[in-house]
Amino acid sequence: MMRLAARIVRRSVGGALALAILAAPAAATAATAAERELARRYAPIMMLKENPDPPCSRDGEQYRPAPVEITLANPDVRLLRPKARGAFPQTRVLASGPTAAGVVGLGSHYYLDLPGHPRRPGCTYARASAELMRGRASVIYAHVVRERGVHGIALQYWFYYLFNQFNDEHESDWEMIQLAFDADTAEQALQLEPSEVAYAQHTGGERRAWNDSEVEKEGTHPVVYVSSGSHASQYRSALFLGNGERGSGLGCDDTRGPSVRVAPTPVVVSTFPALGAHDAWLTYRGHWGQHEPGVSNGPTGPNMKRQWLEPFRWMGGLRTSTPAVPSGGEPVTGFFCGAVSSLSSLMNATSASPLLAVFVFALLVLALAIPALKTRWRPVVEAPLRRVRAGGQIIDAAFRVYWQHARILVPIGLMAVLIGGLAVGAQAFLFNTTGLRQAFDALEDDKVEGFVALLVGSLTHALSPLLVGAAVVLLLRAIDRGEQPRLATVLQGLRGEIWRLVGLAIGGLLAVLLLAATVIGLPLAVKKGVDWAFVQQMAAFEGRGGRRAYAGSASLVRGRWWRTFSIGLVLLVLLVFSGPFTGVLVIFVTDAPLSTINLFGSLLFALVLPYAAVALTLLHFDLVSRRGAEPAESAPTGMLPAP
């Protein structure tokens, strides 16, 4: 009984204090004419990444800045209060379709639960947003505030989105920008222009001088480029990289066009709203989304953010720049964006099912442990090249051969960097010199332009491993013959045989890509990719050309297909992860410019490429030695590229 009485007293006192706090500033809640004019004058223009197939496509932005009424008074939304007592947490449903009046003064233990599951969003939230916004104008909330003890006035614009669909996924999303004035009142601010502007991004942000060339404006209206999915506010159209430092977020924010221009209607709200006012919902201190662990938890509203009452202290801690991914040649940053996105999707999927998480983890451990434990690593013999070796011995022997002939293999690998530069140059020449860009602009079809750019870049980049592989094969041929290898001799031989060696590899690559493009032919593409892994070795060591080289490679692999596939997969993973993966680590531990990190990743990839070619050739010698004779002449059944 005493405990119950104490609880009633605490609740009564707490309720009285809350009412006193809400009621005290009531006289100051009405927006002045100057504040409304200030909000209208600087209301931002929002540039949202165009969605090619709304509402469900994630290739563009699925949500618009919305009024809070799409959530409050929505009959499908529930007001919850989770309880974490006992072995299993319980949730109490307090109301369905809670109104603004129904959430006034509620604390941080309350949640607004929207229909759907944030870690398995599908198209639920996108469809709901499209339906709820039908016939509604986009709205943003303007907040004019002074910070105690600090000179100046801040004008904030808060944006509400129904869902955050980035690497972190959660119901509801609050974002904002802020303009700072060297003034004490809104009336004074109308006579000035802003001194600084800050754009919030994830848990941090970026600030700039108002007259900075990076701050794009339409008259007095700042232009905000909204990152697709995350809704982070950016100053321009680009692909921005965040490594998690200083609130930058982890992943890549994409604001690249084409974009849709939105001019939302500003609604002025108060710092301390009065009971019954149109903005009384700002007294709600709970969460605007479903109760979930970690980053999937529903966010709190503007009034719970530091900048709501401390705009200048918050702005003083922001970054002054955000790294943007270079427009061409991005081996590390491209890998980083895709890897973070894929890993986040995997974590979101497994976090919803502990059993699935355990299964995926066990599968990864087995995939790494079983091959390493089953193979033999010792003894390692790098000479002669033609001999039987276990998988581990091939990996180790290739490293020893690489080290012995590094003075030749390193320059050979660096050809890949040169070819990468040629790829970027080819794209630039094709689009800027031939008039092709103007033709695409006239077509107004970015998909066609993107496909052509990707085709040109990919074909040029694909030459790197093929050309380096050919040079390595010629070097090992000289060693196999007992000759003294020299770089000049290798390059001279490459010049004489480049069309034969590289042409064969290109023919096989194109055939595999065409098969894979049909989707249904993907299994056959994988099989043929392994069957034709040694066409350059067949041409160099056996003098085979055309169809005979493909037939010889397929015959050599026959009966050892899974062995070839597994070792080839290890080499492929090594190539894919070498430069890009190490570059990603550099992103996390240094503040080096992205152009420098991409160059570092390209150089590392170029150094690993000859090693992979050496290992593949040692695998070829291993298969030949296991056969105990030259590969059979007869071609296997199946498709062969034209000679």
* CA distance between the termini of the chain: 94
Identify the DSSP state of 287: B
Among residues 171, 164, 216, which one has the least CA distance to residue 46? 216
pLDDT, the chain, mean: 78
Q: Which residues contact 73 (CB under 8 A, 6 or more apart)?
A: 97, 98, 99, 100
Question: Is the pLDDT reported for residue 195 higher than 60?
Answer: yes
pLDDT value of residue 38: 97
- Please state the φ and ψ torsions of residue 403, each to the nearest 5 degrees: -65, -40
> C-alpha angle 319/321/323, rounded to 5°?
120
Q: How far apart are CA 328 and CA 594, in angstroms?
A: 12
- Please state the φ and ψ torsions of residue 540, each to the nearest 5 degrees: -80, -40
Task: Please count the other Cβ atoms lying within 10 Å of the Cβ belonging to residue 524.
Answer: 16
Among residues 204, 202, 199, 247, which one has the least CA distance to residue 224? 199
Q: How far apart are CA 409 and CA 617, in angstroms?
A: 14
Pick 640 or 319 by higher pLDDT: 319
> C-alpha angle 457/462/464, rounded to 5°?
110
Q: Which residues contact 482 (CB under 8 A, 6 or more apart)?
A: none
pLDDT value of residue 570: 83
Question: Is the pLDDT reported for residue 111 higher than 70?
Answer: yes
pLDDT value of residue 377: 67
- Tell me: the pLDDT tens digits for 482-501? 888 888 878 777 777 777 78
Q: Out of 9-18, 291-300, 361-370, which region has the weakest mean confidence (pLDDT)?
A: 9-18
Q: How far apart are CA 464 and CA 441, in angstroms?
A: 31
pLDDT value of residue 605: 79
Q: Which residues contact 617 (CB under 8 A, 6 or more apart)?
A: 385, 472, 473, 476, 537
Element (H, E) at 155: strand 153-165
User: Checking DSSP bridges between strand 111-113 and strand 250-254, what pairing results, if any?
Assistant: unpaired
Could you tell me the pLDDT band of residue 469, with boundaries at 50, 70 and 90? confident
Residue 45 and residue 224 in contact, taking contact as beta carbons nearer than 8 Å: yes
pLDDT value of residue 504: 81
Task: Give the pLDDT mean for 82-103.
Answer: 75
Residue 557 and residue 564 in contact, taking contact as beta carbons nearer than 8 Å: yes
Element (H, E) at 499: helix 487-517
- Tell me: the pLDDT tens digits for 366-385? 655 566 556 666 777 777 88
Q: Out of 15-29, 127-141, 341-355, 559-573, which region has the weakest mean confidence (pLDDT)?
A: 15-29
- The amino acid occupying position 570 is V
Task: Give the pLDDT mean for 49-59.
Answer: 89
pLDDT value of residue 386: 86
Tokens representing 432 are 């800027």
- Please state the φ and ψ torsions of residue 46, each to the nearest 5 degrees: -100, 125
Could you tell me the pLDDT band of residue 629, with boundaries at 50, 70 and 90? very low
Question: Is the pLDDT reported for residue 391 higher than 50?
Answer: yes
- Tell me: the pLDDT tens digits for 579-592? 666 665 565 555 55
Pick 82 or 158 by higher pLDDT: 158
Q: Per the omega criterion (within 30 degrees of 0), is the bond before 379 cis? A: yes
Pick 580 or 56 by higher pLDDT: 56
- Three-class SS state of 292: coil
Task: Give the pLDDT mean for 527-545.
Answer: 85
Tokens representing 179 are 């303009």
Burial class from Cβ neighbours inside 10 Å (0-12, 13-18, 19+) for residue 206 reads buried
pTM: 0.60
pLDDT value of residue 329: 43
Task: Please count the other Cβ atoms lying within 10 Å of the Cβ belonging to residue 536.
Answer: 28
pLDDT value of residue 193: 96
- Tell me: the pLDDT tens digits for 274-314? 888 999 999 999 999 998 877 788 999 999 999 999 999 99
Residue 277 and residue 71 in contact, taking contact as beta carbons nearer than 8 Å: no
- Three-class SS state of 170: strand
pLDDT value of residue 246: 52
Tokens representing 588 are 């996390």
Q: How far apart are CA 67 and CA 65, in angstroms?
A: 7
Q: How far apart are CA 348 and CA 289, in angstroms?
A: 16
Identify the DSSP state of 380: -
Query: 310-325 burial by CB neighbour count: b if 16+ within 10 A, else e?
Result: bbbebbeebbeebbbb
Q: How far apart are CA 271 and CA 153, in angstroms?
A: 13
Q: How far apart are CA 7 and CA 2, in angstroms?
A: 9
Task: Give the pLDDT mean for 178-184.
Answer: 96
Among residues 502, 482, 588, 491, which one has the least CA distance to residue 545? 502
pLDDT value of residue 37: 96
- Please state the φ and ψ torsions of residue 137, each to the nearest 5 degrees: -85, 150
Element (H, E) at 140: strand 139-145
Q: CA 211, 215, 216, 220 torsion: positive or negative?
A: negative
pLDDT value of residue 375: 67
- Tell me: the pLDDT tens digits for 226-278? 999 899 999 999 888 765 555 455 567 889 889 999 999 999 999 999 888 99
Identify the DSSP state of 467: H
User: Checking DSSP bridges between strand 169-181 and strand 196-201, what pairing results, if any?
Assistant: antiparallel
Q: Out of 69-83, 93-107, 505-519, which region has the weakest mean confidence (pLDDT)?
A: 505-519
Residue 198 and residue 205 in contact, taking contact as beta carbons nearer than 8 Å: yes
Among residues 495, 503, 507, 502, which one has the least CA distance to residue 465? 502
Q: How far apart are CA 504 and CA 548, in angstroms?
A: 11
Could you tell me the pLDDT band of residue 521, with boundaries at 50, 70 and 90? confident
Q: How far apart are CA 153 and CA 146, in angstroms?
A: 5
- Tell me: the pLDDT tens digits for 549-582? 888 888 888 888 888 888 888 888 777 666 666 6
Task: Give the pLDDT mean for 39-59.
Answer: 93
Please give the order of strands across the beta sheet that includes 153-165: 204-209, 196-201, 169-181, 153-165, 139-145, 265-269
Percent of the residues in the chain that have a pLDDT greater than 70, as a whole number: 70
Q: How far apart are CA 600 and CA 423, in angstroms?
A: 17
Residue 120 and residue 57 in contact, taking contact as beta carbons nearer than 8 Å: no
Residue 65 and residue 264 in contact, taking contact as beta carbons nearer than 8 Å: yes
What's the 3-state SS for 27-65? Answer: HHCCCCHHHHHHHHHCCCEEEEECCCCCCCCCCCCCCCC
pLDDT value of residue 365: 59
Task: Please count the other Cβ atoms lying within 10 Å of the Cβ belonging to residue 508.
Answer: 23
